[in-house]
Chain A
Amino acid sequence: MDHFHRLKRQVQHYIFLLGTLAVAFLVGGAWVIRRLFPDNNDVLVSGGLLLFGWLVVWLLSVILTNYALQPLETIWRAILHVTPGHTSTAPPNLEKSKIGQELVTTLALQVYQLASSNTSLQPVKPTSNSSELESDIFHNFPLPIMAVSKNQTISIANEAALKFLGLTKEDVFQKNLYSVFDLAFSDERTLDNWLQHCRQNKATDQHFWQRVRLKLADQTTVKQFDLAAAYSKENPNDIEVIITLFDQTARYQIDDEALDFIALAVHELRTPLTALRGYIELFDDELGDKLDPELLGFMHSMQTSAQQLTAFVSNILNVARIQEGQLSLQLTEETWEAVIKNAVDNMALAAKLKGISIDYTIAPNLPSVAVDKISITEVLNNLLDNAIKYSGSSKLIHINAGLTNDGLVETVVSDDGVGIPSSVMPNLFEKFHRNHRNQARIGGTGLGLYLCASLIKAHGGNIWLKSKEGEGTSVGFTVQPYSMLAGKLKDSNNKGITRNAHGWIKNHSLYRR
């Protein structure tokens, strides 16, 4: 039988007892009056009987109320006692309740337990010192927690943090956060950047990061975790930020392995592709002028197909990287015209096979741009590849590059081809999306525009698409002039390295195709 049912039975027991007493009083009173006034049934006797009965009922109601509401009173006093602003209220006496004492005691203690997070009040006596309790909770908390002071040194780290990071108290205490931990974030929204933002704009703030990586002191173990941080500008203990880590090493390891598998598959595909492209080029060189035009055309088709397959294989790897948040760009200063020319040269043969020519117009005095040359060439290749595929009967693709009003470098690839139905326009930049009407006739994977959008976004630019069915398509995107990012890039560690379309060469100008 639980506490509540026991209370119910006790209340029932008291009501029955008091009711029996009331009946006994009334019957006894009537008997006494009858004996005192045996021959008189007048109004006085009836009135006296009524008054006596009323007095008995009043007395009983007082007793009943007192007993029945005692549990409620105890709980009320307990709640009042823990309510902020009522600390002078006396604590309830848990032994006072005559009925339902177990239930009342349990409920009152529950009230104290719920309120114990922000009060040291206890029903009878406090069990321990509150700061000791907090310290105990901090050190035994099952997640790694660290507190960092305003001068960026680690003030305190709990047992779980030291264990997770494989460090001792001496390794971390009063040491600079960044010298102890080389945290790697998946993008530029790092802990440090967030803190700088908070210092200027916030009194308190919280932030959560996923996929943070940390190489431990042994230089081989890599931990991966999510990180939550709480910032406080005016903390009395000089603590500026509190950091909690959520270990996700095992989970993210699976993603890494999946990417490893893709990287391996890409390697296995690229090796025979290298041979194919090399030998086709050799045949073209040695036999090109001896073959009749039809056979030469076949060879060029082979060459284009091998090149398309190579590009597709790179696309797969890049999409996997984007999904795992592992795509890293190395922005360097590039002449935009050279980048465009290189991309046009890449696609020239594929265009020529369909009788299409690609021309480009570059606005005079266009500033140099900050791009990752490999990635941006992939964007241009994909856009040109689409324009060639969906060219229809049109024979010209045009690239136009100029400055926007915001000072960004905008490039538009336009064709007069088959265009895109308005119904599919909203989903074009999504993965695996293809224009279904053309699916049977035109090959493709639906990765191209998704990849372009992701890469442009990573460059800090925008991409847009304008199309009318039967009239053609224009895809435009922006990249930033180098001058906008020059300061940031100088601080990065890729000084002296110039990336080219399919690799990089140190301190040398880009190779010519």
Chain B
Amino acid sequence: MKPLNFRLFILFAFIALPSVVYGLKREKLSVQDSILYVSPFQDDNERCFKCHGQEKYEYTNESLGKQVKALLCSDRIVNRSEFYSANHKSFSCTDCHSEAYTKFPHPGELRMEMQYNCLDCHGGDEAFAIFSFEEIDAEYQQSVHFRLENEGFTCWKCHNPHSYKISRRNTTNLKETIQYDNNICLNCHSDFSRLQLMTESKEINLMEKHDWLPNQTSHFRSIRCIECHTKTNDSILISHFIVPKEDAIRGCNECHSKNSILMTSLYKFESKENRKDGFLNGIILNESYVIGANRNKYLNIISLSIFSIVILMIIIHILFRILKK
């Protein structure tokens, strides 16, 4: 290998090695996440997953006396690993779905089975008081999403009971949380076939709609849709009061200021003690940097002092010029 190529190889190795190690570590963690948990209902659930765990399923048509292979529609598929790492991983399928589903072919009337919503289980339960489900419901009822209930909108549209997991409280990786939470919105708002189940609105291009936003990529990577599209509330961690699009925040100063709203939304969960270093809203600096919201009080004092000294020296110089004229 020529010396230059060798040096480039070493340089590349230094850059690539941490990424590979980080990638392997993450992969290991995510695999562990899904395999560490063993459900007490694993065998029972597997009867369902056998068909609903993937697209292809097989059954014996007893009338015809032959084996049939077919494909499930995507809404009927539940990913095993997502389910066993989700909030409801300890559930048996029949905790929420009818026992009658254990029979195959499933009885036709089960298609009309009533679905639970969050409050049916979590409402009024002290064990879940920390999550403030009642307040979340009160906010939801004021949100634009609530107006779509007649069209079939429910909690599940955002919080898929088979895969949803709390991310903000449990993760230390904010970027992952942002991506996870934004994907919940994008699941419908960037998928017109899903969106038109709920609304008559025309197909929208989210990037074009946010053309006014400078550095779109950085913003979309660093904040969640709900930062601008909800009205924040001090008593709950995640606002569920989705406001009409006309009322969404468009003022840069709302985030880029000393009293940044990010401190009452995205960074609400972190303790302000986590980072100081003389920075205003310093906790943001652990993950990002927001011009206007992250000012350093020491730099402010130093710069103001230097500026004052310069002005004072100029004034003294002018005075001497006048006196010695």
A complexed with B? no
Binding site for A on B (CB under 8 A): none
